[in-house]
Chains A and B, each alone.
Chain A
């Protein structure tokens, strides 16, 4: 129970508490990010360098961004209308106490707490890579398959619906042809939609008919 561990544990648990009980949703998301950082620090304190940095890269760099994007793109950031705590809170407290008792029992009876545990040798990234490619290659491939499925699913959800969405604006198809052809237009379609929503000029194509002026003619 070194002082570093106590500080980190306090930081993690207090920010996790803040993440579930703050009123403003964005504050909750940021408190959750501090929890992730606290967890990463705990991993680093246990000399697991790779897992600690991977935690920062994946959780803070990607999961937290995903959460804040979800808050940005939906109306979830309005302050909660009803109270955050339910009326039957004692049931929840009971369930929490039971779960805590089970977890505490498991942790206290584990071998890691017994004083005769020899200090583990520091695992290098090289060894992790070795094991991932030899002994744990099946979980690695399954993970790759899972990520590919998630990627395809994301693209399908965000894909343009095809011909029935295209507006027939004379002359604007040259403008839009450079942007919306084929599939997999997830990002820029979403962003163009948002730009249209925000009323930015030049993003909605033109609604008025164009007059083609060929070079050499004088426009009157």
Chain B
């Protein structure tokens, strides 16, 4: 009974595929998986917009949207209608083909990336042997859309925002991939299904997730920070902040194309959170052994919602980072920490199980963190406050 509920979507899919002729069954199977992803993730996007606006509102001591529907829950519907019916304004000097293609180049790779995430037991879109590499490859392809949007608008603020965004994204890709490399080292495979399988099992009641090891925790923190920077989320949203550069590289987009950018950004956030869950938080495994009866997809989406709430929380709390602070943070702090973390992960793998392992790896993670942080903060020369007046 528990197993049926857990595998209910797989059973439904197999039953639907059986209706198709034998030769085209792989295609129909893939089509059904794609349809399921397209049904779930845009609805999650709608839920996230309302969650974010209400959550940010409460953090800022105000109510969020509460007019449309009970507690404002139909707000995404109103937003979608607005985006669909708004006039599509294109600047007359804009490069039409590139301007049109930019939102598409953002949305398509982001949905491609969702295909390799295992969302439940036997519930991945496709089990690629090089799944993690595929994910990062299509993630890298989204950066081109930022350039296309910024360039084609023929607007200097748009171009400036695009340049900053691309610089930020390629800078934060390095710690992102390096922190994922530690997990790949521990598992020995690039396949996401095998990575989730390697985190099964419970030891003294606690799950064997990688986030509960010293190197895994450091890698998870680095991964989440880089994920926020990759999706241009606050506090890394200087390229698109409203008070900074008037929405940066998508200034000249209105109506449905803007909605597509918004969708692409949020679904990108889901995809990279999903990867974080798969690599560090044990994928679809339950946190405690006796909670095994809850279906696996419920755990995956529960963890995904928790990470989304974490992103919203961080957005409402921390101020925006300035461009040079952002870059310094990536290259001077996160990259050395990610490299040291790879060393620690290797040490963990080869030391015998016991408290010495924890002590050595914990010291090797915490020590450089404190030293680096102290060194970088000392360089800031924060002295007495100086007021500058316009003369």
Q: Which residues of A contact B (CB under 8 A)?
A: 24, 26-27, 30, 33, 49-50, 53-54, 56-57, 60-62, 64-65, 68-69, 72, 124-126, 171, 174, 177-179, 181-182, 184, 187-188, 191-192, 194-195, 198, 200, 206, 208-215, 219
Listed A/B pairs (25) with beta-carbon separation below 8 Å: A26-B95, A26-B151, A30-B144, A53-B130, A53-B133, A56-B141, A57-B140, A60-B141, A61-B139, A61-B140, A72-B159, A126-B189, A171-B388, A174-B381, A177-B381, A178-B382, A184-B331, A187-B171, A191-B167, A192-B324, A194-B160, A200-B160, A208-B390, A211-B388, A219-B389
Interface residues of B in 200-257 (CB under 8 A from A): none
How far apart are the CA atoms of A44 and B328 in the complex, in Å?
38
- Cβ contact within 8 Å between A30 and B148: yes
The 3 closest A-B CB pairs, nearest first, are A61-B140, A188-B324, A56-B137
Number of A-B contacts (CB under 8 A): 124
Assess whether A56 is in contact with B138, with CB atoms less than 8 Å apart: yes
Contacts beyond the supplied A53-B133, A194-B163, A212-B386: 15 A-B pairs with Cβ under 8 Å: A30-B144, A49-B128, A57-B133, A61-B173, A65-B166, A65-B170, A68-B147, A72-B159, A125-B190, A171-B386, A178-B382, A181-B379, A184-B331, A191-B323, A194-B160
Q: How far is it, in angstroms, between the C-alpha of A125 and the C-alpha of B138 when the chains are bound?
A: 18
Chain B residues within 8 Å of A177, by CB: 379-381
- B-side contacts of A72, CB under 8 Å: 147, 151, 159, 163
- The docked-state distance in angstroms from the alpha carbon of A182 to that of B381 is 14
Contacts of A50 in B (CB 8 A): 130, 133
Any A CB within 8 A of the CB of B391: yes
Residues of B with C-beta under 8 A to A60: 137, 140-141, 144
Q: How far is the CA of A208 from the CA of B387 in the complex (A)?
A: 12
CA distance A117 to B168 in the complex (A): 48
Q: Which residue of B lies closest to A171 (CB)?
A: B386
In contact, A191 and B98 (Cβ under 8 angstroms): no
Cross-chain contact B156 with A198 (CB below 8 angstroms):
yes
Q: How many residues of B are counted as interface, with CB atoms below 8 angstroms from the partner's CB atoms?
A: 50
B323 touches A65 (CB 8 A): no
Which residue of chain B has the shortest Cβ distance to A210 in the bound complex? B388
> Which single member of B129, B323, B379 contacts A49 (CB below 8 Å)?
B129
Bound Cα distance from A60 to B173, whole angstroms: 14
Closest residue on chain A to residue B383 by CB atoms: A174
Is there a chain A Cβ closer than 8 Å to B124's Cβ?
A: no
Chain B's nearest CB lies how many Å from the CB of A33? 6
Question: Hey, which chain A residues are within 8 Å of B323, CB to CB?
Answer: 188, 191, 195
Could you tell me the distance in whole angstroms from the C-beta of B266 to the nearest C-beta in chain A?
21
Report B-chain residues with C-beta under 8 Å of the C-beta of A56.
137-138, 140-141
In the complex, the answer to whether A213 meets B134 with C-beta atoms within 8 Å is no
Which B positions have Cβ atoms within 8 angstroms of A? Answer: 95, 97-98, 128-130, 133-134, 136-141, 143-144, 147-148, 151, 156, 159-160, 163-164, 166-167, 170-171, 173, 188-190, 323-324, 327-328, 331, 379-391
Q: How far is the CA of A54 from the CA of B135 in the complex (A)?
A: 11
Collect the chain A residues with CB atoms within 8 Å of residue B328's CB: 179, 188
Residues of A within 8 A of B331 (CB): 184, 187
Provide the residues of chain B in CB contact with A200, threshold 8 Å: 160
Closest CB of chain B to A50's CB: distance in Å?
5
Considering the chains assembled together, what is the distance between the CA atoms of A86 and B176 in angstroms? 46
A173 CB, nearest partner CB in chain B, Å? 9
Q: How far is the CA of A53 from the CA of B140 in the complex (A)?
A: 11
Cβ distance B108 to chain A, nearest Cβ, rounded Å? 11
Cα separation A187 to B324 with both chains bound (whole Å): 8
The answer to whether A33 and B327 touch (CB under 8 A), given A53-B133, A61-B137, A215-B385, is no
Chain B residues with CB under 8 Å of A212's CB are 384, 386-387
Contact B137 A178 (CB under 8 A): no
**In the complex, chain B residues whose CB is within 8 Å of the CB of A126:** 188-189
Measured between C-beta atoms, what is the minimum distance from B147 to chain A in Å?
5
Residue of A whose beta carbon sits closest to that of B389: A211
Contacts of A184 in B (CB 8 A): 331
Report if A174-B386 is in contact (Cβ < 8 Å); known contacts: A49-B130, A125-B190. yes
Q: How far is the CB of A87 from chain B (nearest CB, A)?
A: 30
Q: Which residues of A contact B144 (CB under 8 A)?
A: 30, 33, 60, 64-65, 68
Contacts of A54 in B (CB 8 A): 133, 137
Q: Which residue of A lies closest to B331 (CB)?
A: A187
CB-defined contacts of A188 to chain B, threshold 8 Å: 323-324, 327-328
Residue of B171, B324, B380 with most chain A CB atoms under a 10 A cut-off: B324
In angstroms, Cα B386 to Cα A178, docked, is: 15
Q: Are B386 and A210 in contact (CB under 8 A)?
A: yes
Name the B residues within 8 Å of A198 (CB-CB): 156, 160
**Least CB distance, B138 to chain A, in whole angstroms:** 7
What residues of chain A lie closer than 8 Å to B147, measured between beta carbons? 65, 68, 72
What is the CB-to-nearest-CB distance from B150 to chain A, in angstroms, rounded to a whole number?
9
